């Protein structure tokens, strides 16, 4: 009910000319759009804010073109944001993680509309070339039709038969795999879980639905004119300065030889950031860092805490247009002042 009312209000606001007015009021704000993976099979139903159908993405890009939003490369946009020379309502397109599905399904749409894009690539699973363990386990427990699962005989902190669904159980398995197992053991565990849940791990591996781009694919992306930037090696950025620095150095060690030059822009993994990160990022020559905090960016926005709009299959066209026009941002400002 709430969603229907919200959409109705947005449609009425657009008809009343408020979207156009908002676009004028917020014209100096840089819009940074955030995407993750694209949908193979049913993954947009599994995580609608992470996986998007290529058809939906094409519709978004068509709207950018039709409404004449200037789309800039990330580096140029950051520089022009700071010197005040951005064109009105400038947009940047960013893609987190470096998913194979983004390369396979998103890149053709960017080419079709001749748009620049930045791929923030996390490199651990790019090197290993195995499915991302966390998402794979979540997907198998989401997809299974089993009413229960027997975990007896597995090297896990839990055992016996468990009634499904059980989100706490899923996270116990993920946390154990990520903290206590190496990549080979995680793959063995995932395959066994798939067998017990009647969800084919082999099909997941084959489809590469939860895989990161290979080194060759990253090279192809660079050759195609896409911007490759940093997303840490292990998809984490600790508050400890030395550990944060290690994540950046390890990420660069994989990517810079493929790109052929220094990388100066970063995306915080999962959008988790703190001002404690600023010093180690500056020490490593990072010029900008994007968060998952919503909103527009202005000249006084810290370049190491840039805001983005997280788009996904779960966002309707009218909600997307409200964000793009700046109307949603003006609403947020209004309600913050009223609070």
Mean pLDDT over residues 307-312, rounded?
Answer: 98
If DSSP codes are grouped into helix, strand and coil, which group holds residue 251?
helix
- The tens digit of pLDDT for each residue in 268-299 reads 999 999 999 999 999 999 999 999 999 999 99
The CA distance from 72 to 220, in Å, is: 21
- Which strand ranges, in their side-by-side order, compose the sheet holding 309-310? 288-290, 265-267, 227-230, 118-121, 91-97, 31-35, 309-310
216's torsion region: left (phi>0), alpha (psi -120 to 50) or beta? Answer: alpha
- The tens digit of pLDDT for each residue in 25-45 reads 999 999 999 999 999 999 999
- The tens digit of pLDDT for each residue in 189-228 reads 999 999 999 999 999 999 999 999 999 999 999 999 999 9
The CA distance from 277 to 243, in Å, is: 11
Domain ranges of the chain: 2-128+213-338, 133-207
Which tokens hold the place of 76? Answer: 């140029």
If DSSP codes are grouped into helix, strand and coil, which group holds residue 298?
coil
If DSSP codes are grouped into helix, strand and coil, which group holds residue 227?
strand
- The tens digit of pLDDT for each residue in 132-172 reads 999 999 999 999 999 999 999 998 999 999 999 999 999 99
pLDDT for position 336: 84
The CA distance from 232 to 265, in Å, is: 11
271's torsion region: left (phi>0), alpha (psi -120 to 50) or beta? Answer: left
Q: Over the chain, what is the mean pLDDT? A: 97
Residue 339 — very low, low, confident or very high, per pLDDT cuts 50/70/90? low
Nearest residue to 289 (alpha-carbon basis) of 304, 277, 270, 272: 304
Residue in the block written with tokens 């499904």 = 164
Mean pLDDT over residues 90-97, rounded?
Answer: 98
pLDDT for position 144: 98
Contact 259, 271 (CB under 8 A): no
- The tens digit of pLDDT for each residue in 40-89 reads 999 999 999 999 999 999 999 999 999 999 999 999 999 999 999 999 99
Which tokens hold the place of 93? Answer: 């397109």
The strand pair at 227-230 and 37-38 is best described as unpaired
Asked whether the predicted pLDDT for residue 317 surpasses 70, the reply is: yes
Question: What values do phi and psi take at 211, rounded to 5?
Answer: -105, 160
CATH class, domain 2-128+213-338, is: alpha beta
Residue 337 — very low, low, confident or very high, per pLDDT cuts 50/70/90? confident
Nearest residue to 69 (alpha-carbon basis) of 98, 107, 26, 99: 26
How many residues appear in the chain?
Answer: 339
Asked whether the predicted pLDDT for residue 1 surpasses 90, the reply is: no
Within 10 A of 132 (CB to CB), how many other CB atoms are there? 22
């Amino acid at each position: 009910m709430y969603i229907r009312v919200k959409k109705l209000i947005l449609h009425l606001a657009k008809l009343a000319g408020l979207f156009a007015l908002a676009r004028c009021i917020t014209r100096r704000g840089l819009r940074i759009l955030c995407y993750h993976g694209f949908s193979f099979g049913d993954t947009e139903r599994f995580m609608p804010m992470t996986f998007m159908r290529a058809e939906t993405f094409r519709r978004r890009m068509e709207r950018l073109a039709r409404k004449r939003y200037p789309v800039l490369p990330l580096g140029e946009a950051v520089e022009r944001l700071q010197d005040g020379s951005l064109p009105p309502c400038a947009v940047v397109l960013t893609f987190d993680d470096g998913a194979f599905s983004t390369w396979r399904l998103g890149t053709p749409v960017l080419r079709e509309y001749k748009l620049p894009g930045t791929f923030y690539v996390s490199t651990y699973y790019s090197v290993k070339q195995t499915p991302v363990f966390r998402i794979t386990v979540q997907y198998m427990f989401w997809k299974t039709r089993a009413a229960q699962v027997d975990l007896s005989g597995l090297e896990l902190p839990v055992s016996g038969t468990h009634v499904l669904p059980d989100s706490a159980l899923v996270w116990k398995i993920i946390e154990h795999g990520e903290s206590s197992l190496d990549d080979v053991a995680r793959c063995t565990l995932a395959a066994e879980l798939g067998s017990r849940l009647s969800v084919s791990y082999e099909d997941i591996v084959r489809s590469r639905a939860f895989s990161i781009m290979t080194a060759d694919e990253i090279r192809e992306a660079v050759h195609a004119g896409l911007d490759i930037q940093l997303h840490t090696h292990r998809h984490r950025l600790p508050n400890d300065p030395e550990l944060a620095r290690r994540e950046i150095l390890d990420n660069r060690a994989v990517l810079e030889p493929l790109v052929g030059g220094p990388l100066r822009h970063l995306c915080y993994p999962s959008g988790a950031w703190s001002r404690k990160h600023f010093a180690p990022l500056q020490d490593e020559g990072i010029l900008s860092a994007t968060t998952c905090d919503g909103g527009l960016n202005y000249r006084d926005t810290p370049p190491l805490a840039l805001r983005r709009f997280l788009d996904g299959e779960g966002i309707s066209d009218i909600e997307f247009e409200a964000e793009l026009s700046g109307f949603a941002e003006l609403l947020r400002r209004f309600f913050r002042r009223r609070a």
